[in-house]
Structure 1
Amino acid sequence: MTEDSRFVIVGGGLAAAKLAEQLRAQEYTGALTLISAESHPPYERPPLSKDHLLGKKALVDFTVHPPEWYREHEVDLRLDTTATAVDRATKTVALHDGSTVPYDRLALATGSRPRRLPIPGTDAAGVYELRTIEQSDALLTLFGAAHRLVVIGGGWIGLEVTAAAREAGLEVTVLEAEDVPLQAALGRQIGAVFADLHGDHGVDLRCGARVAEIVTTDGRATGVRLTDDTVIEADAVLLAVGARPNVELAVDADLPTGEGVLVDESLATSDPSIVAVGDIADQQHPLLGRRIRVEHWANALNQPEVAATTMLGRPAVYDRLPYFFTDQYDLGMEYTGYVAPGQDASIVIRGDAAGRRFVAFWLDSGNRVLAGMNVNVWDVTDRIKELIVTGRPADPQRLADPDIEL
C-alpha cells in the first residue's frame, strides 16, 4: 500500500484497537481512521463482569491504549461517532452527522450487543444489561445500594455478575431456562459443576424457569414473574440471555452473512477490500474444517494480526483454536477447542470434579479430542492444544489418569 492510501476501522473494542496497533506494527504508513460510537478509547470487555465489578480494576487498567498512543501513531480516533452505512461502490463510510470517510481498505469490528427478551418490563428502570463500561459502573453502584438481584440467564455473563454480586453481599436469584447453567456451552455434566458452585455460595438457582414478565411499580422493576405465576421480588434485574452480532452495516452493504459476517481463512469478506474481526467474524476455520463464530476475548486479541496482514495484501491464515476463560468465586477456568452445537461428544474427567479441580475433555466418536477445559488446574493449555491439533485418537482411560502425562 502507498503512503496516500486510506484504511478505516469501524468498532470501539479490543479488536479495533489491536488492528490499529498491528497495522502500524506491520509498517502501514498511510491514513488510518478508527470510528467508535463509544465515548472512551477502546477497552477490553472481560473486566466488566469480573475485576471491575469486584472493585479490583478501573477503566484505565483495561483500556487498550491511552489517548496519546493514537496521536503518537497518527491514528484518527473518532469517538462518539456512529457509522451508519458502507457504500462499497464509492468506498465510503457514512457517519451519523451526514459526513463520509473514504477508504481503500475497511475493517468491520463492530462487536455484539446484549440480546433482548420479548417480554413486558425490559425497558423499566432497574433493569440492567452488560456490554459497556457505563453499564458495568451502573451495576457497581447498584451493588452498594440494592439487596436483591434477579439474573435472567445462566450463561457466562450472568454467572460472573452473580459471583460479583454475592461477594458484594446481595441476595441473588438466577433464572435459567435449561436444566443446568451453561448447558449449551458445556453440557449437563459440566454445567452441574457450576450449578453446585453457585449453590455453595448461597445463590438461589432456578433451572427450567420460564420468564413471563418483569414486574414493575411506577415504572421501576420490582420483581420477575414466571409462567407458573411465581413472582420473585427484586430491587433490580439483570438481563443476561446472550448476545447478537452487530452485522447491520454488512447486511446493508450486501456482504454475505450467516451466524455473523462470512469471512475466509484470512478474515476477508467476499469484498477483497473489507475484512471482519472479533465477535462478528463467521470464519472458515482451517483446522476445524467448518465455519465458527466466537464471542470471546481471545479472538478480539489475536485475529487483528492476521486481519492487518490481509488488509496489506499479504497472505495470512487465522488458525488459532477458540479459547475463553472465566473466574467465579474461587474457581478459575480455561477452555480450549470447539464442540459444535448439538455435536455428539463424550466427556472424560481427569481429576476431582466434585472438588472443582479437574480437566475435562470432549471426545468425538473416534476418541479424537475436540476441546479441553481446565478448572483450577494450570499450565496445561498448551498440552490440550497439542492433543486437539494432532487429531490422533486418545485412550480415554489414560486421558482420565492424572498420573499419566498429557
Structure 2
Amino acid sequence: MRRIVVVGGSLAGHRAALALRGLGYDGRLTVIGTEPHRPYDRFPLSKGFLTRQTDRAGLAIDGAPADVVWHLDETATGLDLAGRRVIVGDRRALRFDGLVVASGARPRDVVLVQGALGAFVLRTVEDADGFRADLEARPRHVVVVGGGLIGAEVAAYAVARGHHTTMVEPSDLPTVKAVGRPVAEHLLRLHRAAGVHVRRRTRMRDLDVRAGAVTGVVLEDGSRLPADVVMMATGTTPNVDWLRGSGLAISGGLQCGPTLHARGSDRVVGAGDVIRVPQALLGGESPRVEHWASTLAHADLAAANLLAGPGKGLPLSALPTFGTTIHGARIRAVGFPQVADRSRVLWGSVEAGRALVALGRGSQIVAVVSLDAHERLEPLVGQLRPGSSLDDLRTVSGVLR
C-alpha cells in the first residue's frame, strides 16, 4: 500500500497513524480531522480539565507520527470505494490504497444547544472551556440532562463548586448501564448526599431559551426547571453520514468483522467510537464501545490488520475497560456492564464504599466492576471469557478474601 488515509483526527486517528509508522509503513499517510487542532486527549475533559488539574498542554498526545500529511479543520463528506477516494468538503478527493475509519461520534443533542448561551454538550476542548467558564463565574442553577458517566461526572463537579445542581435521567437509576446496579445505587446515594437533585424517570421536552440564553429546562410533563447552565449528556451518534451509499455496512456505526476490517471492503478498517465489532464474550453481538483504552486497542489492531490483510489479521481480543472517579468514589470496570441483568458482590461491601462486583447476563459473566478496589480487579480480568459464570468468578475471588 502506497497511500493510506485516516479519517478522524482525534485519539483513534492519531494512534492508528502512529501505529502504522511504528509497523514500518513508509508510504504516504494522510489524516483528516474536523477540528482545527492537532489531536488531543478528550478523556480528561469531564474530569481533570474541568477541575483545572489538567490544562490544555496536559491534553496533548505524545509521539506525533512522522511524515504525516494533516488536513485539519476539514471534513470527509463521502467515500467512493470503487474509485478508492475519500471526498473532502464539497468535491476534493483523496485517493487511497488503504483506509482507516476513525471518525468518532458526536453528541446527540449538539444541534439543540447551538445558538443558546449557557447550553452545552461536552465533546471538544472549546465545549469544556465554555462550560467551565460559566460555572466559575458565579453561583448557578445547573441542569444536567442525562445520567450516564459524563452526566454523573459533570453533576459531581458542579455541585462540588457550590452550584444548585439537578440531574434529569429517564431511567430509574443513573449510571446503571455503565457500572451495573449495585455500584449505580451507591453513586445515587453519593449524588444525594452531595446535594445533587436527581429527577429519575423524567425526560426533557425542550430547552427554555429567551433572548438567546437558556433560562430553564421544560420536562416531559410540562413542568419547568430553572437553569442558567445546561449540560446535555444524552449520549452520542456515530459519525457515519459520510459513508452512506458507499457500500459499507453502517447500521448504528461502522460494522466491522473480528479483525476490524469493515464489512464491505478488505481495504477499510475501523477504530474507536464509530465502530461495532463482534464480541466473543457476548456471543458475537457487536456493541459500540466508547472508552479510551478500547480506542487505543482498536487503533493498534486496525493498523496492523490493514497492513496484514484480512486473511492474516488477528481478531480483537481486548475487552473494554474504563475508570472514573465520582464524588471521590474510584470506579474501574472491565467488560460490558450495559447488558447485565444480575450481579453478585465478590468482595467487600458496596454500601461501605469498597467492593468488587461481578455482573452477569443470565449465566454468563459479562463484566466486573471495582469500587475503590482496583488492585483486586486485575486478577479476575482473565476470567472473563465465553462460558464463564458468576459461580466461576466467586470461586476465583475466594483467594482475594
Is this a same-fold pair by TM over 0.5? yes
> Could you tell me how far apart the structure 2 residues matched to 1:57 and 1:171 are?
25
The offset of 1:405, in angstroms, is: 2.4
> Could you tell me how far apart the structure 1 residues matched to 2:323 and 2:53 are?
18
Partner of 1:234: 227
Q: Give the match's secondary structure for 2:374.
A: coil
Alignment of 1:68-87 (within 5 A): 69-70=64-65, 73-87=66-80
The offset of 1:340, in angstroms, is: 5.7
> Could you tell me how far apart the structure 1 residues matched to 2:161 and 2:222 are?
30
Is the counterpart of residue 261 in structure 1 residue 250 in structure 2?
no
Partner of 2:23: 26
> Could you tell me how far apart the structure 2 residues matched to 1:357 and 1:344 are?
22
Segment drifting more, 31-40 vs 313-322: 313-322
Partner of 1:14: 11
The offset of 1:364, in angstroms, is: 4.1
The offset of 1:32, in angstroms, is: 0.3
| Equivalent pair of 1:11/1:35 in contact (CA under 8 Å) | yes
Deviations 1:292-342 (A, max 9, x none): 22111112111111111111124222111111221113111111012563x
Q: Give the match's secondary structure for 2:381.
A: helix
Is the counterpart of residue 277 in structure 1 residue 271 in structure 2?
yes
CA RMSD in angstroms comes to 2.3
> Could you tell me how far apart the structure 2 residues matched to 1:339 and 1:379 are?
19
> Could you tell me how far apart the structure 2 residues matched to 1:387 and 1:399 are?
11
Q: Give the match's secondary structure for 1:7.
A: strand
Is the counterpart of residue 373 in structure 1 residue 369 in structure 2?
yes
> Could you tell me how far apart the structure 1 residues matched to 2:171 and 2:359 are?
20
Q: Give the match's secondary structure for 2:244.
A: helix
> Could you tell me how far apart the structure 1 residues matched to 2:386 and 2:129 are?
44
Segment drifting more, 238-247 vs 177-186: 177-186
User: What amino acid is the match of 1:305?
Assistant: D
Partner of 1:293: 288
Q: Give the match's secondary structure for 1:93.
A: strand
The offset of 1:287, in angstroms, is: 4.6
- What is the TM-score with the length of structure 1 in the denominator? 0.91
> Could you tell me how far apart the structure 2 residues matched to 1:118 and 1:218 are?
18
Unmatched runs of 5 consecutive residues or more in structure 2: none
Is the counterpart of residue 185 in structure 1 residue 178 in structure 2?
yes
> Could you tell me how far apart the structure 1 residues matched to 2:97 and 2:129 are?
38
> Could you tell me how far apart the structure 2 residues matched to 1:213 and 1:400 are?
49
Is the counterpart of residue 137 in structure 1 residue 135 in structure 2?
no
Identify if the C-alpha distance between structure 1 residues 282 and 396 changes in structure 2 by more than 3 Å, giving closer, same or farther. closer
Identify if the C-alpha distance between structure 1 residues 240 and 392 changes in structure 2 by more than 3 Å, giving closer, same or farther. closer
Identify if the C-alpha distance between structure 1 residues 166 and 363 changes in structure 2 by more than 3 Å, giving closer, same or farther. same
| Equivalent pair of 2:346/2:394 in contact (CA under 8 Å) | no
User: What amino acid is the match of 2:232?
Assistant: L
Partner of 2:322: 324
Partner of 1:307: 302
Is the counterpart of residue 51 in structure 1 residue 48 in structure 2?
yes
Deviations 1:183-214 (A, max 9, x none): 33344443211111111111111112232222
> Could you tell me how far apart the structure 2 residues matched to 1:364 and 1:125 are?
43
> Could you tell me how far apart the structure 2 residues matched to 1:43 and 1:176 are?
30
User: What amino acid is the match of 2:185?
Assistant: A
User: What amino acid is the match of 1:352?
Assistant: S
Q: Give the match's secondary structure for 1:16.
A: helix
User: What amino acid is the match of 1:14?
Assistant: L
Count residues with an aligned counterpart.
395
Q: Give the match's secondary structure for 1:316.
A: coil
> Could you tell me how far apart the structure 2 residues matched to 1:240 and 1:340 are?
17
| Sequence identity (%) | 31
The offset of 1:350, in angstroms, is: 2.3
| Equivalent pair of 1:153/1:176 in contact (CA under 8 Å) | yes
Partner of 2:148: 155
Partner of 2:34: 37
